[in-house]
Amino acid sequence: MTEFNTLIIAIGLASIIFCFIALKRLISYNKRFHLPESKYTKLFKVISKEQVGSLYLLLTIFSVISVIIFTISFNTYAE
Amino acid sequence: MQNRDRYFKGQEDNETLVCFTRQHWIVLLPDLIFFMIFIAFVTVSIVNLPEIKAWVASGIEGKTVFLITFIIATLYFHRFFIKILNYFLCVEIITDKRLIEHHKTVFFKDLMDAIDLSQIQNIEMNMDGFLPNIFKYGKITIFLNSSSAVRTFTYVTNVQFHFRCINRQKTALQSGDIV
């Protein structure tokens, strides 16, 4: 594995860790503030913060895995 | 009544939650537009993946540009989602006794400010402009009677409803309906 690959994987891991920390803080906020949500308090009347959090986690993991696969595949391509 | 910390940390025993609100989604519009451009850029990159792959594999310049682009894209991606989450954490809570403004961000800020409804002298609502009237958002200005202090809440969603709501709670409290 090249240094370039290692760097990409390290950035990807840091990205996932950052996402986990942000979501952990959101969960701790939810424990202290359980205000009754309605359609008037949601984003565009439909999107809740839990949905945004889930999307954030899924997209982070998906993008990191995609970039790592891409990096490994073009190294194979180069060889 | 045992309402202590029932809906939010800091709620008093004899305090009842009336409603809460967040800022209007219009505050996120510039970020959403830039994120659409970002998504378009990513889509174009995915469509041209074979060419990008060949270019990145060709030499050190390609790899450097790819690395820098990846770092910038990752930072922007996180910044966008943190901003959306910050939007959800900033709330204005109306109870039968207080008007509470909670400005919080995921990482850096946690500011809670409460205005006693009995201290309010006058409330002013302002829906000035084309977009505020179309999307029903606006500004609520609260004049306090203890001093010349003025508090302004901007981009209030459904501003007419919240204006009426604060006014009714203030009138009820000042006329002694709520003990």
Per-residue pLDDT band at B109 (split at 50, 70, 90):
confident
Per-residue pLDDT band at B179 (split at 50, 70, 90):
very low
How far is Cα B54 from Cα B72, in angstroms, rounded to an integer?
21
Average pLDDT over residues B102-112: 90
A contact residues 11-70, partner B, Cβ 8 Å cutoff? 11, 15, 18-19, 22, 25-26, 29, 32-36, 40-41, 43-44, 48-49, 52-53, 56, 59-60, 63, 67, 70
Find chain A residues with C-beta within 8 A of B100's C-beta: none
List, for residues B5-43, the tens digit of each pLDDT value: 788 888 888 888 888 899 999 999 999 999 999 999 999
Q: Where are any strands of DSSP class E within B1-40?
A: 17-21
CA distance B118 to chain A (A): 24
Q: How much is the pLDDT for A52? A: 94
Q: Which of B4, B71, B81, B158 to mutate to test the interface with A (most CBs of A within 10 A)?
A: B81
Model pTM score: 0.87
Per-residue pLDDT band at B87 (split at 50, 70, 90):
very high
8 Å CB contact between B125 and B139: yes
What proportion of chain B, given as a percentage, has pLDDT over 70?
A: 96
List, for residues A12-67, the tens digit of each pLDDT value: 999 999 999 999 999 999 888 888 888 788 888 889 989 999 999 999 999 999 98
- Of B88, B57, B13, give the one whose Cα is nearest residue A29: B88
Across all residues in chain B, what is the average pLDDT? 88
